[in-house]
Structure 1
Amino acid sequence: MTVDDRFGEDLQRTRRQRFLSGHQSEIVTDPVTDWATDFSHVDPEWAADPYPIQDELRRSCPIAHTDRFGGAWLPTRYEDVAAIAYDTEHFTSRAIIVSNMRPPADLAPAGGAPPISSDPPFHHDARKLLLPAFTKNAVARQEPGTRAYCHALIDAFDGRDVVDAAREYAKQIPTRVIADLLGFPQQDSEKFGAFVENTLEDVNAPAEVRLRRLTRLSEYLLEQIHDHIAHPRDDLTTHLLDAELHGRRLEPGHVLGTINLLLIAGIDTTWSAIGASLWHLAKTPADRERLVAEPELLPTAMEEFLRAYAPVTMARLVKQDMHWNGVDMKADDWVLLPFPAANRDPAQFDRAGEVVIDREVNRHAAFGLGIHRCVGSHLARMELRVALEVWLERIPSFTLADPGAVTWAPGQVRGPRTLPLRIAR
């Protein structure tokens, strides 16, 4: 069988059958009235400002529950989030996006998006395949192009007084970087944004609707894979097509799932982190002015932005019925891992609810905890640092044009989706 033969219609058919064979739960979209017993991470109130909700739950009900999504748990203390993240014996990673369906157990050990959907021991080797692309040296080679692109984006503002920094700047930077990494066409960037939003935000859509949207993504990725098979080049897609695991070429579903992961996670997390940092600086002139005056403080401030506005909430599934830290969890219950809540736990951080841009000790969990800690953290840090350096160099004075017009993404990756900023000339 040739490499090309491995990526035929049967792959799409198999993925469709597996998707529809998973357990599907009743869709509930009513507004939340009690966050301790009926939370929803896609509720508009949570998307707009989850921190007061998390703080209250941490005090009164540190492990909340909901019957939505077929049953889910929400720990809010750092120690609980960390304990679950490190516990691969009782919690599986085979599904990491909470929705109204659970994929069948036969997706193990790889899961649908390895390595993030993989359990040990498969996870270790699947993750190892990606490490060379995300070393500090590999990331450093991306920096000049990223910096030039940030300048080009600001040039494109063309003297306007108000720009949407989320759509016109924050979103565009990781889109370009990930497209380059995977060897995908830059002109497809608008498709990438749609793929991200469909995957992470529309979790309450019916199964057939989600399948239709996810199929569009898979079809696009298969087109890119076939193009790489026909025209190999020096990028991560070709690397995955040529890679071997345990003496065999990667299964087609493994290649497709990993590329899916890199495209979705690599764009939305950094898009959100850049946007949240600019939002904070726009509404906090003292911090903005200090960073303009002391640019050497930016790496420290950046880590604080990651702590305070951590974009990612991950998820696990409970492996079997058990009593855990005072609650009775059932097999296949979802467990959300809100790293943003862990990062604001006063038991773990002094002045946890404040943004302290010169915080010296900052062991935050923005990139996750445990075996699934973000493999692309060096890349994300580079993009965030360069994006902020260039912005503050070119646009040292800016404010929120309309605070009420700022919108935030619902779901497990939270960041500004619209961010109108007024530029002082």
Structure 2
Amino acid sequence: MTVEDRSVDDFHPVPQDPSLGTRVDPVIGPVSDWTTDFSHLEPEYAQHAPEVWDDLRSRCPIAHTDRFGGGWLPTRYEDVAAIAYDTDAFSSRAIIMSNFRPPVDIAPIGGAPPISSDPPFHHDARKLLLPAFTKTAVSKLEPATREFCESLLDGFAGRDVVDAAAEYSQHIPMRVIAHMLGFPQEDGEQFARFVENTLEGVNLPPEERIERMGELFEYIFARIREHIAEPRDDLTSYLLDVELYGSKLDPSHVAGTIVLLLIAGIDTTWSAIGASLWHLAGHPEDRRRLVAEPELMPFALEEFLRAYAPVTMARLVKQDMSWHGVDMKAEDWVLLPFPAANRDPEQFERADEVVLDRKVNRHAAFGLGIHRCVGSHLARMELRVALEVWLSRFPEFSLADPDAVKWSSGQIRGPRTLPVRLG
């Protein structure tokens, strides 16, 4: 059976029942004590997360909160790694910490396989995606990515100040992912809204979150139906045609994986590009050295990824247990702040500094354990090309107003507003 044999009628979103799963009333407002009341949604965390991690690591390396129905925040590399590798005690069925927990029976597949999948299903679901994200496959996308970056910078002609986040970094992964999936390039504005709804609206009532997610799935299923009617050589048609355990993927699996690629493949990368440009704008000595010594770029990329890793994932505790001196309850959230792990001085020398030529750099920017990012080659390519094109055009640039830089809240951290002065 090929794509043409799939039934269009199967690919319509099924409304979710908000009564399923577990919900709690949201708790919002300033944090009273980060050790006992942390919240990754507060403005202070968005702007000053590294300082929060440093403080917690010295006082309370595994912080707790009653918000979101109860959760934990480890800040040491060894603790983050231990949880990431322990799939027996921690489930990935929900990886966005919110005031709603999906029902347990959604495991082991989850809503966005393979990132939401537990073993043994995870291994096989992840394996399906590997061919699309090899170095060879990614290299074929580089010329078009470079051309697009150049075109974005062409639009800055005659301007002194531009927003390097909203007008540059945010557009690059949207264009690349749209191309890979075979989605309309002009839908980027919708992608940005989907990302914000998914990652930053986690304290909204479950009914409203489900309604917003419904808009995303309506969009995805519409694109899928187009691909059934007109198969093409892209990742969407591949997912419609590939088999798992001798059968085509369930419609919910296809849609969930596309949601994963659309959400995770966009915000994470634009955040990494934006944070790297923020650093170079504010550290002229590093910027000038990188321009003068382009052979440092491979090391600099890894260091930017270490120092400004954008991604924090979540897990759910499977059952009551005592873990590393704290008493975790079943269904407690656990955040895995890979950026905090990357700044642990027990793991990295000069952990709070950006060392452009750092030779040994086993960072956790792409995660740890079985859920390590399948798109790491793609993200590295986009980051490298974005910086190379920018620096070749604007070797001199600076922060136009440091106080105007705004960082995103939630589990993906990167600059959302980044005004820079060119020249």
- Fold shared per TM-score above 0.5: yes
CA distance in 2 between counterparts of 1:143 and 1:352 reads 31
Q: What is the one-letter code of the residue matched to 1:79? A: E
Separation of aligned partners in 2, 1:188 and 1:317: 33
Which sections of structure 1, spanning at least 5 residues, go unmatched? Answer: none
Decide whether the 8 Å contact of 1:12 with 1:218 is kept in 2.
no
Contact 2:8/2:228, CA 8 A, preserved across alignment: no
| Match in the other structure for 2:14 | 12
- Report the Cα offset of residue 8 of structure 1: 4.3
Amino acid at match of 2:233: D
* Post-superposition CA distance 1:41-60 (Å, at most 9, x none): 11100000101110111111
- Cα contact 2:11–2:224 (8 A) shared by 1: no
1:154-207 per-position Cα deviation (integer Å, ceiling 9, x unaligned): 001122111111011100110000000000000100000010011001111111
What do the CA deviations read for 1:359-396 (whole angstroms, capped 9, x no partner)? 11100000000000000000000000000000000000
Q: Which residue of 2 aligns with 1:3?
A: 6
Partner of 2:372: 373
Report the counterpart of residue 62 of structure 1 in structure 2: 61
Aligned to 1:385: 384
Residue of structure 2 equivalent to 1:360: 359
Provide the rounded CA distance (Å) in 2 between the counterparts of 1:224 and 1:416. 30
1:283-294 aligned at under 5 Å gives the runs: 283-294=282-293
Q: What corresponds to 2:83 in structure 1?
A: 84
Per the TM alignment, residue 5 of structure 1 is displaced from its structure 2 partner at its CA by 4.4
| 1:293-332 alignment runs, 5 A limit | 293-332=292-331
The aligned residue for residue 266 of structure 2 is 267
Question: 1:404: which partner in 2?
Answer: 403
Q: Secondary structure at the match of 2:327?
A: strand
Alpha-carbon distance in 1 for matches of 2:296, 2:242: 41
Change (3 A) 1:8 1:292: closer
The secondary structure found in structure 2 opposite 1:233 is coil
Structure 2 length as normaliser, TM-score?
0.98
Q: Within 2, Cα distance between the matches of 1:393 and 1:139?
A: 22
Question: 8 Å contact 1:317–1:335 — kept in the other structure?
Answer: yes
Q: Is the 8 A contact 2:113 2:256 kept in 1?
A: yes
> Displacement, 1:7?
2.7
1:106 Cα deviation (Å)? 1.4
Cα separation, 1, equivalents of 2:19 and 2:395: 51
Equivalence map 1:50-199=2 (5 Å): 50-199=49-198
Shift in CA distance, 20/168, structure 1 to aligned 2, threshold 3 Å: farther
Question: Aligned residue for 2:341?
Answer: 342
SS at match of 1:399: strand
State how far apart, in whole Å, the 2-side matches of 1:214 and 1:201 are: 12
The CA deviation at 1:422 is 0.4
Partner deviation per Cα, 1:39-81 (whole Å, 9 max, x = no partner): 0011100000101110111111000000000100000000000
For 1:330 and 1:33, the matched residues in 2 are separated by 23
SS in 2 for 1:316: strand
Q: Work out the CA distance in 2 between the residues paired with 1:320 and 1:405.
A: 44
Gaps of 5+ in 2: none
Superposition deviation, residue 6 in structure 1: 5.5
SS at 1:392's partner residue? helix
CA contact (8 A) 2:398 2:421 kept: yes
Q: Does 1:257 align with 2:256?
A: yes
Q: Give the match's secondary structure for 2:370.
A: helix
Deviations 1:279-309 (A, max 9, x none): 0000000000001111111111111000000
Assess if the C-alpha contact under 8 Å between 1:65 and 1:74 holds in 2.
Answer: yes
CA separation in 1, counterparts of 2:10 and 2:409? 34
Look up the equivalent residue of 1:323 and give its one-letter code.
S
**Is contact 1:6-1:252 (8 Å) kept?**
no
CA contact 1:7–1:222 (8 Å) conserved in 2: no
- CA deviations on 1:200-237 (whole Å, 9 max, x unpaired) are 01111111111111111010001100000101000000
Q: 2:37 corresponds to which residue?
A: 38
Contact 2:84 2:336 in 1 (8 A): yes
Offset from partner CA, 1:134-171 (integer Å, 9 cap, x none): 00000000000001111000001122111111011100
User: Which residue does 2:278 correspond to in 1?
Assistant: 279
| CA deviation profile, 1:298-347 (whole Å, cap 9, x unmatched) | 11111100000000001100000000000000111000000000000000
Cα distance in 1, alignment partners of residues 229 and 408 from structure 2:
37
Q: Distance in 2 between matches of 1:215 and 1:240?
A: 21
**TM-score, length basis structure 1:** 0.97
Q: Distance between the aligned counterparts of 1:356 and 1:411, measured in 2?
A: 27
Identity of aligned residues (%): 70
Cα distance in 1 for partners of 2:42, 2:10 equals 38
Q: Aligned letter for 2:27?
A: V
Paired residue secondary structure (1:317)? strand
Indicate if the aligned counterparts of 1:113 and 1:260 stay in contact, CA closer than 8 A: yes
Cα RMSD between the aligned structures? 1.0
CA distance in 2, matches of 1:7, 1:410: 36
Q: Distance in 2 between matches of 1:81 and 1:7?
A: 40
Distance in 2 of aligned mates of 1:159 and 1:110: 51
Distance 2:370 2:276 in 1: 27
SS at match of 2:286: helix
- Asked if 1 retains the 8 angstrom alpha-carbon contact of 2:300 and 2:356, the reply is yes
Alignment partners' CA distance in 1, 2:103 and 2:9: 22
